[in-house]
Structure 1
Amino acid sequence: MGQGLCLCSRGSIMIDNKKYYFIQNLDEGGFSFVDLVEGAKDGCPYALKRILCHDREGHREAQTETEMHQMFNHPNILTLVAHTFVDRGGKTEAWLLLPYMSKGSLWSVLEKLRDKGSSMPEKQILQIFQGICLGLKAIHDKGYAHRDIKPTNVLLNEDNRPVLMDLGSMNRARIEVKGTREAMTIQDWAAQRCTISYRAPELFNVESHCIIDERTDIWSLGCVLYCMMMLEGPYDLVFQKGDSVALAVQNPVTIPKPCSIIFLRGSGMMSYQRSTRSTLCLPLF
């Protein structure tokens, strides 16, 4: 763990005895903020994720997120440069220093394309999708699942190399559910941590005796591929209209016509089937 000091009057912070200057706020969520900082010594930009730890559980979750980052050294998984826990005004914050990617998230790139009335070239879709798959495979090979794969959790560098981020929802890939109480606990957890329009069907209504495994990520992965093709997720509109995503995921997803991107490299379909008997069908390339 790094050595943490509070923000000083000159707008700088210290992590692991290295100084970083605050530049600007980049983003914020319910319990976290992301700031752009610059290394005083190397002049490189970094993203500083500050997680507010309101209680012991929050502290434990932040510690788990740092441990998930430290577990991987992979070009398609966001690297943790340094981290520390800081006490500010009687409250604890977890500071995660991460590489900064000026291109932003996959979602921000898709939004810009949609605003221009354009689309992502097929070659670029395949390149990005392959990188996401490689990062996800590395997570699964360690026996874990990401649980919140979505376009906003994929960063792109200047060469369009995708990097998976936000590892706070990761947990063991295989979860054996024994009884109604455990099922409800997992279902409630998924409702809080797994984005609704990218959430696998088995996480909406968790059965009292079942196995939840890494295939939840494969469902989300298919939704991300769809989003790259159509510039919106298969259930984004359902959610925006206030309709039930839980009901919508019970039916097969088909590619709308006309579609400017047509995959012809494969003769089959990539299908994802679960105990709910829901199927996500996308082109197999």
Structure 2
Amino acid sequence: MLDYLDNFWSIYSNLVLSLGTASLLALSIYLTLSCGMLAMANAAFMGIGAYTSSILTMNYGWPFPAAIAAGMAAPAVVAFLIGKPTLRLSGVYLAMATLAFGEVVRLIVIRAEGLTGGALGLNGIPQLTQWWHVLLAVVLVLAFLARLRRSKIGRAFEAIKEDETAAGLMGIDVNGHKMLAFALGAAIAGLAGVLNAHLTFFIGPQEFGFDRGVEILTMTILGGINSLFGPVLGGVIITLLPELLRSFKDYRAVANGLILVLIVLFLPKGLWNPAWMRKVLGLRKKGVTP
């Protein structure tokens, strides 16, 4: 049994740990969606965190904890800077603006070849991420978001999502809370980028483009934002799909788009929907097979 587990871990350890980083990414966009913002910059924030920590550990010998802190702080600061003009937008206009920002980040990474490796990316990143780093990060982020959701700030997020104008009339600082959600989401995405970069040895600008942004959104929409476990579930499913459907790996972006359309049409609140679960349990109590 122990030999089997050792063999399994040696083969699939990166995949298992990738489930954790995917969960962090899904939770990062959960924050902005919970505040009523369709922001698509999380892939870029992930890239900023990954490149920041990788450059610091490779070129300057920073210890891993300090690199993690820097990898979270850098995207949060950038989010604050770009949030001033972009968060005035809403809906599809905010999505377009944040997607454009992601493309700008990708082009900057390609142009700064001496620092980032350009289009070829950074290779030979020290493998510092351990399994307990990922587990601890997911647990801490879930605990923090659960506490935040029950707090005054979390209730303000919900009010802004339901009706931004009414929330403002109630005395809620709408712009301030939006900025907070945007910056916290960026920090969590940066954390995922740090852990992923020091797990896979290599990062490149193509990993943080439009396709990754759509993938992150798909994770959260698939799982649902009614509970913190929804984004985690979505992240696990979307990460495992390419492994389960290896023959369709060239159509991964198409599959993600199709999943997103189907979920919006048939399960608009995602797979983890407490109301749907209560309905199923109610049918079972009556002796009806759902």
Regarding TM over 0.5, the answer is no
- Where relative contact order (Cα < 8 A, 6+ residues apart) is larger, the structure is 2
Instruction: Indicate the structure with greater strand content.
Output: 1
With normalisation by structure 1, the TM-score equals 0.29
Compare the two structures and name the one with the higher helix fraction.
2
TM-score, structure 2 length as denominator?
Answer: 0.29
